[in-house]
Structure 1
Amino acid sequence: TCHGINELYASGPLQDMTFSVSEGTIGIHVIYQFTIEPPAVSLRLSGEKDGVIEIASTSGYLYLNGSLDRENKAIHRLQVEALNVTGQKEKGPYSITINVQDINDNPPKFEKSKYFGVVWQNSRPGKPFLYVNATDRDDPTTPNAQLFYNILHHFPDPYKQMLFQIDNVTGAISTTERGSHLLNPQTQVMFTLVVTVKDLAGMSENALTSNTDVEITVKENLWKAPPKVSIKENSTEPHPVSITQVHWNEPGAKYDLLQKERLPRFPFTIDQNGTIYVTEPLDREEKELYSFFATAKDEGGEELDRPLPIFVQVEDINDNPPVCQNALTIFEVQENEGLGSNIGTLRATDMDQENTLNSRLQFRIVDQNPKIPLDNLFIIQQEAGTFQLSRSSLNKRVVSNYFVRVEVTDKVFTTLCDVKINVIDINDQIPIFEKSDYGILIILEDTPVGEVILEIQATDADEPFTGSSQIIYQIEEGDQNKNFIIETDTKTNRGFVKINKVLDFEMSSTYNLTVKATNPEPLVQGVQYNSSSTAYFGVVVVDVNEVPVFSQNIYIGNIFEDVPVGTLVMTVTANDPEGDQIRYSLKSNNRNWLRIDTFSGEIYTAAPLDREVEHEYKVEVTATEENTKSQSSTAVFMLYIKDVNDNPPRLAKGNHLFFCHPLHGGVRAEIQATDDDEQLYSPEFTFSLGGGENIKSDWEISRIDGTHAYLSPKHTNLEEKQYSIPLIINDNGKPPLEGNLDLQGTCSDEGRCFIEVENHPGMPSTGMAVGILLGVLIFIGRCYFLET
């Protein structure tokens, strides 16, 4: 396909041809000149000329005598024949096709001069409620017919911000986020939008435009959450029962319920009128509040607006009896308790709603057994359920326990609870130790925590297995740090002295301990603990040799890789509990980069460091006692080696480039630079050529990005041989380093164009070469037309 350009045109022999010509040309416009070959002397044109397309019969000029209109006809099909002097056909007919190219000569037009729409208050922002549409007669495959919609004016504009928006491509009009919140028919019921449409996708000042008015009516939103619904539990009405209703703004919506939480059963449903039903009786004790959502969807299943929250409160009725907390409640009371003393509280519950009359409980004693020395020996507080003595008449030797039955009622239901009251002996006897002095105990300082070192025993003459006879042992003196603890066997009242904390000979080597035996039940008036309830024993702690202790388990150091040998890196310290002299040494010092001062613990560099070899260097530091029974401990030293710019840039994939000979224009090879130093940010390399002017006259280098560049010949007359091309690469370190490399460029006729990777010993080089396409020769043919 060739195009007529300015005053130029092309010529050639008769053959089938296709031309592209812009519509709307003015005057005479030459398309092409056909050359006439004898014996032909003239040409004849036929077909869809439409009075505009002509041919000069003797000169062979194919031309336009007027304008073509693509919108009327996009393709013209013609035939041309060569005639001799007698008018007889010598050649042809040949097919001539003229494609009419579009120009932007048609403005877009809206389908309606005015649009009307309805939007509902609180409608979902971004959901279209109206579409405007315009068409353009220009070629739809070109920008001439690509339309761009925009809201030009907004009347009125009470909030000084757009309440509506339009999709620039589809013409869909919807509310903005602010419009969804601010639109209110009580404030403003009518709006007028001036909508404009532009062709050329709205990207040019020369775009053609059209306008239309859009009149919008705001209606009150009917899609509102209903008030909370209250339903009495265990309803006996026939189900389902209507409880509330939701309404979408327009008919035809499909309603559904959406559960907010996963329930074993969901006792609600909704019909297509938006009426919500409860499908079965509810139980407040099972669930007190139901929360779910009602949704409205269009025919395609898309939600029309946000789901509405629905709340259903289940109201309580008195449908649960009181429940005794225990099948048998047991109280204890001392035989010397006085009138009105509290004995205990009977616990009962009711599953009905708390703090309502439905769960209010009242207590009443209905039976006491035995009735000795009299009936009604106990009273109970009606509202609290607390037992009290009505007489000071208890005697364990006469009656050791009582059984009482209590009626618990919530005014509808009644439950009987059983109570047992044990009369216990008064605590009038003190514990007495079997001996007052248990002597001196000798134990090693590394005795494990929890080990029993002594057993002690005291006895009590009060009633067995009661709070009056149970014994508690306490260390009253000599153990401020709580290094010892005493546990009691509740059946035998035997005490077991145990190690409670790790002992330390160096902190304390002797303990003189005083132990007291007491009861959990208070002694009766007039009775007191005395020396019979006190015992003594001593503890001597024997020293053992302990390992040295480092000040910390892990030491961390940071250092630059270029520090001089002998630089102090870190000082570690360890102490021996016995005060012995300590010697330091290093283990796992695999590269021998460090040394340690045996006496001070100072760690120095012993050889040059190299972050590129290892950037996290880990060694173990050992502290050893200097005595006949030497012991040692170990800590870890982690040295993080920080980078310095000590590695010049290099090529990432070898330095041998291949070009196909003979060279063609545009051929080039991509090279990549890298650097062994740490790259905290994106690497930035600069590329340049070394050598003399002869190198720079034959080759040039151009940057692609921070790591890549192109090497390309400046001309195509290079010889078929190998070239050595000096390349300079600088990194962006501080200070920067320079890499001087020697590229080997080979011009070869073997047809292989690749960058060769580095060869590894012991492997075939052909198995390690990576083919990379260097250049693609692009031939571009252009056809120019002469125009006269």
Structure 2
Amino acid sequence: MFSLHAGSGLFLLAVLVGLQIAAEGRGAPPCKPGFSEDTYKVVLPDTVEEGRPLFHVDFLDCGRGAPVRMECNNPSDFRIEADGVVYAARSLQRSPQHALVLLVKAIDGTTQQQWTTQVRMEPPALSSQQVPDASVPPAGNTDLMEISFPSRRNSQLKRMKRDWVIPPINVPENSRGPFPQELVRIRSDHDKSRALRYSVTGPGADQPPTGIFIIDPISGELSVNKPLDREHISNFHLRAHAVDLNGNQVENPIDIVINVIDMNDNRPEFTHQIWNGTVPEGSKPGTFVMTVTSVDKDDPKTANGMLRYKILSQTPESPTSNMFTINNKTGGIITVAAGLDREKVPQYTLIIQATDMEGNPMYGLSNTATAVIRITDVNDNPPEFTAEMFSGEVRENRVNVIVANLTVTDKDQPNTPAWNAVYKITGGDSTGRFSVPTDPTTNEGLVTVVKPIDYETSRTFVLTVEAKNEVPLARGIHYPHLSTATVSIRVMDENESPYFEPNPKLIKLEEGLMPESALTIFTAQDPDRFMRQKITYSKLSDPANWLRIDPNTGRITTIATLDRESSYVKNNLYNATFMGLDDGKPPANGTGTLQIYLLDINDNAPKVFPQEAEICEKPEPNAINITAVDGDLNPNAGPFAFELAHRPFDVRRNWTITRISGDHAQVGLKIGFLESGIYEIPIIITDSGNLPMSNTSYLRVKVCQCDINGDCTDQQHIMAAGLGTGAIIAILLCIIILLILVLLFVVWMKRRDKERQAKQLLIDPEDDVRDNILKYDEEGGGEEDQDYDLSQLQQPDTLEPDAIKPVGIRRLDERPLHPEPQYPMRSAAPHPGDIGDFINEVTRPLPVQAEPFPVTKSRPNAIRPRRPDWIPLFLGLFSSRRQQLS
């Protein structure tokens, strides 16, 4: 059984909601999927808040495991979750005299099987007898609301007798204590028969933020341990547990919802401290300006979060102190008075106040912000000229020059379309020689000459100019006429350049005209009719230097023969440029072009092309195709006549020529075989001019042996070899590298020579034993006995005793016939080239075992094993030289 009793202490807002299940039958029927009851009865208060849990319907699944979807017949007012808990979909206020029936449907997600039950919701007045009384309360604070665990059956297959929905517990935020502060007491019916322990779990208890709610494990008193902040956490969902001393669960856990009641502890906060808006000047009352908004962290569903706006002040108070108003709920600012004029008041500053508690000044909290309203400009002022008459002057033939500056005034905001002026010439310029663009910086009108003005034609201009803005005047603004001004312009005379007429001048002549022939007279006109000036002529451009002009009369004559085939003639036209210079101050000049169209005459004989060719020794299958080339045009060119010359006589005997077309012919061998070689064939070509011209051209032909394809087999292709820039650079780099290597080698050789010279300084060249003959005053044999090799002194162990050496000179490549005597091992002698090492070696004491060079009677003058007399002398010289060097 699950019951709840409300005390008279902390919770004035707690509401009791109960659900009673009418029991049917006494036995324990087998488990059948469906709702636990066909009809539920619910005690529902008259007023229900949105999102509040109302009751719970129990659906028995009987272990099927298939998902079940819950629906109700009034989804606009009630919302049911999958666990069977029904919530208020919106705030409800019902009649206290009538009950409400709600149909709940469960649908199997797999088989689409449906189960239906109904819930009868009655007001407390009709169901007061159904609210169960609390059992005897346990010892403790009797003022606390008591929550009892519902009765628990041993078998889950049996239906529960009763099932209750625990109403939420409301706790105000920012409580000052003392803490811990008791909220409710939780108890189980089993505490009468055995000792129980109570606990709560969930966020705020054993989950972060921990330690907010605690429960006495023995008495079951649930307490809050610290002040709550609704703006941080608005509600807590806890679960209460009851177990025995062995930890066995004795009751099903119950869910407890703790709502934090909002207090007015937050001021409204504007999203911006300074708001900027604009409104056009001259706007009518009711024109929207902008919207200001503020937020309040308190509950917006209560008066704590309901805001109201108002305007505290307006600066400046012109033309009235109430030019704007604000919607107290939405914060929208609109105009309420006419007379906004940017030229008088360009900006307004409003102080806006937002107050909660629905604007109650006694209990509500307030905050302020600033609204800056800028009055935007409209075109309510046309531009006006600062003067009625402007003047200027300009020299003739000048363009893109400013003649006069027109100034205007405009009271509208500068650099806006309502301020920018546009100028238009309305009279005095029928030929369109002037324009009036606007200076973007100063807004002045710049009277500019756009077409040349001739002093001889017009000496003065009087223009009428009007000014207006880029955009039309605002609606309701009317002016009788646009602002206009008069501009007087005086033209100043200048010395103008002479001009040739016509320019260019075209004449047609036959080429070949002889020198000193008169062509034409090319003169210039002086536009300055009121000046008597003389014009002289000169030649500026004559690429082929064919012409001459008389400086006074402008008569043009030839100084060379005109040739149409010249490279200076393009498309039969030859261009020459002449200049006419007057004697004004300063002098002026003009240029004219003479175009001479040269008519062709037959003055060029045809030629053969190509001039070199090759052909096989046998006439088949090759032949040479030739073309006649003539510098003249038709009819002085083709068709051409081709003919072989009569001399030398073998030309017509060996060769034949056949005309293919008017410009082409074919040359071939006439005989069956012609020896390989170079042949020059004279060919006479005649054109078709009125007076035909002939020319003998020589065709250089190479006769050679050919393969089956008709190509020469003995031809040696000579390729023109050329070196590119990359190849030249590579060659230069190789040469530089070789030079560096040679230089390094020379340096290395010099360094090695210096090292050798340094070593030779240790020994006096005059005392070098290798370059001197020492006399011992001993009689002996001849050359073969006294001329000995010093290397034998360095390696005496390689010598053989004289006793076993045969008579005569022993060959060094002979193998000894008896074992050689063994002597103590000596270190290898240094290289003979190092005299210092050699001296150190020979001055070492000799062994005393046996004489390496025994003296025999047959060789009385053999070298004896004693130190030569020159060694001490050499050592002395060596020591003195070393001291000198050091």
TM, length-normalised to structure 1: 0.35
Greater relative contact order (Cα < 8 A, sep 6+): 1
Q: Larger helix proportion, structure 1 or 2?
A: 2
